[in-house]
Structures are given as structure tokens and as C-alpha cells.
Amino acid sequence: MDSSTNDVIRDCPPFFKVYKDGRVERYFVTQPVPAGLDRTAGVQTKDVVISPAVKARIFMPQSTTPGQKLPLLVHYHGGGFSIGSAFDTVTYKVVAPLVKQANIVVVSIDYRVAPEHPLPIAHDDSWVGLQWVASHANGQGPEPWLNDNADPSRIFLAGESAGANIAHFVAVLAGATKLVGLKIRGMLLVHPYFGTGEPNDNELDKYVCPTSTEFDNDPIVNPAADPKLKEMACERVIVLVAEEDGFRNRREAYYETLTKSGWRGKVEFFETKGEGHCFHVVIDNHNTEVLKNKMVDFINKDI
């Protein structure tokens, strides 16, 4: 056996390493949560197939009122575009409390991840997911849970880290293509990832998105370079950042970019002091509760 096949040709901690023989090993493997009724969390979940490549998990409150349509939040998970899923413990920890406390329906889109599926596949899959959600606008879509319980006139987009990047991307595309059927009331971007801003410090970006050669001019990591930004189909945005996040300056730059872009919506900025990037997915403390309540308040403000 050729021992060189065990040579690591690309190491991208804390996400993955790639071996010479093509194997991908992830530093962190998330654990799945079975779909069904969770009486403790007060939510019920169901998994659906959107396309051969794209799946999703629907979250609903444990009990609903017949005939009542609830706001619908479309969620995109984080993980450096390379780890995580809509079906794992991290997504459950983030989404389930919002479903119960805000009394909403959530569709978490399970997009394909890099490096096996390099960008922009994740963004393309996520757009397919939003179009599938829009297919329920007339109450005749393929999924009864959405037809019966989701209000297409009260749509929110959300994501954390890479997922927030994707949420922004699909919101811009929804506006640029004039997506029919959904009224996107708000977008919640939790510690959004828009690159490092350093040309020599983009190894992960370069590897997961090999088609992009000039990252500062790529709208995926630099919204300021997107001529379609002002067309973003969203009325309100909240940018949530963490004081100790190494890329906090990029989140703040995004906030400033939106305010100057010509986009006609309103943008808010909220900073959690003393915490790092996506702290809320790994710890439960007072700041985690404050962040969750801020998100719930943002949603409820529009209901």
C-alpha cells in the first residue's frame, strides 16, 4: 500500500483536512437528531426532500390552531460551508427555541457542503430551497405542513456564520429575480461570515470556492462588490455580532455597506459583549438567552 495516500494535502482547521487519496476528514462531526415530536422542547419536526440534492427539516410548534397561519423562517446552518446540517444537534439547539418562543414555522435547508461540493453549490442549493418554499405561496405546494400552517406574507430568513452569508445571498437573488409568492419581512444574520478581508489569509475561502480568484471582488464574500445589493428583497435586517469574534470588523463593514447601498430597508446592529464567534451554539449562559430573546423580539416586532 502506498503510504503517501495518508499524506495531508490541505489542512483547514477547525473544519477539515484532505488526504492525497481524496479522502476528507472533518475535525468536528455533528450528531443527527431524529425527526418527530419533542414534548420537552415543545416542537415537532419533519424531514422533506426538495430535490435529489437538497433536503430540509421543518420545525413547527407542538400544537397549532387550525386555520391559523404562522410566520415562516427559512434557516441556513453555519459551519464554514463545510460542516453541519439541517438535521444535527447544533441546528436543533439554535432553531427549536425560536419555534416555541416566537410561535413560528421554520424550514432549515440542508445544502451540500465543501470541499466535496465547492462553492457556489451551497448557495445554489439554498436558492433551490427558497424557491421550493415559494411554491407553497398559493397553498398548493408539495408539503401540507407549509400549505396549512405557514404564512407566505410573513417570511424571515436567518443563518449563523456561513449560513448568514447564504441567507444574504438568497435575499439579494430573490430581489434581483423578483421571486414571486413570498414577502420577506426580515433577515436575522448571526455573526455573518463575509471572508477575512485579508488577501493572504483566505486559504479556506480559496479551497472551498476554487472558481473565485479575486475575493475582494466576489459578492459571495464581499457584498459591497455586488451591483444587485440594493435590490435585496427584505424589509429589515438585524446584524448580530460578538465582541470577541476575530472577524467582527467584517460584520460591522456589512452593516455599513447596507446603510450606504441604496437598499430601502432598515438595518439594526446588536453586539454581544465578551463573547466569541457563534458562542450560542456551544454554551448556554445569560448572553445566549439575551441573543435568543433579541431574535424573537425582532421577529415579533413584525407580527
Q: Is 219 exposed, middle or buried (0-12, 13-18, 19+ CB in 10 A)?
A: middle
* 126 labelled catalytic: no
For the chain, the domains span 1-30, 32-300
Reading the chain (303 residues) residue by residue, the pLDDT tens digits are 455 678 998 898 899 999 999 999 999 998 999 999 999 999 999 999 999 999 999 999 998 888 899 999 999 999 999 999 999 999 999 999 999 999 999 999 999 999 999 999 999 999 999 999 999 999 999 999 999 999 999 999 999 999 999 999 999 999 999 999 999 999 999 999 987 665 545 667 777 777 765 567 788 888 999 999 999 999 999 999 999 998 888 888 899 999 999 999 999 999 999 999 999 998 999 999 999 999 999 999 865
Of 85, 245, 261, 280, the catalytic one is 245
Phi/psi of residue 203, nearest 5 degrees: -60, -45
| Matching residue, cell 404562522 | 70
Residue 245 is among the residues annotated as catalytic for this protein? yes
Active site residue: 161, 191, 205, 212, which one? 161
Please confirm, yes or no, whether 277 is among the known catalytic residues: yes
All cell numbers assigned to 208? 472551498
Say yes or no: domain 32-300 is CATH 3.40.50.1820: yes
What does the DSSP assignment read for 98-156? HHHHHT-EEEEEE---TTTS-TTHHHHHHHHHHHHHHTTTTS-SS-HHHHHHEEEEEEE
Distance between CA atoms of 92 and 44, rounded to whole angstroms? 11
> Rounded to whole angstroms, what are the CA distances from 270 to 87, 228, 229, 230?
28, 25, 21, 22
Task: Say if residue 32 is preceded by a cis peptide, omega within 30 of 0.
Answer: no
Q: How far apart are CA 185 and CA 173, in angstroms?
A: 15
Residue pointed to by grid coordinates 405542513: 145
Tell me if 149 sits within 8 A of 202, measured CB to CB: no
pTM listed for this prediction: 0.94
Q: Which three cell numbers stand for residue 277?
A: 464567534
Give me the catalytic one of 77, 123, 191, 277. Answer: 277
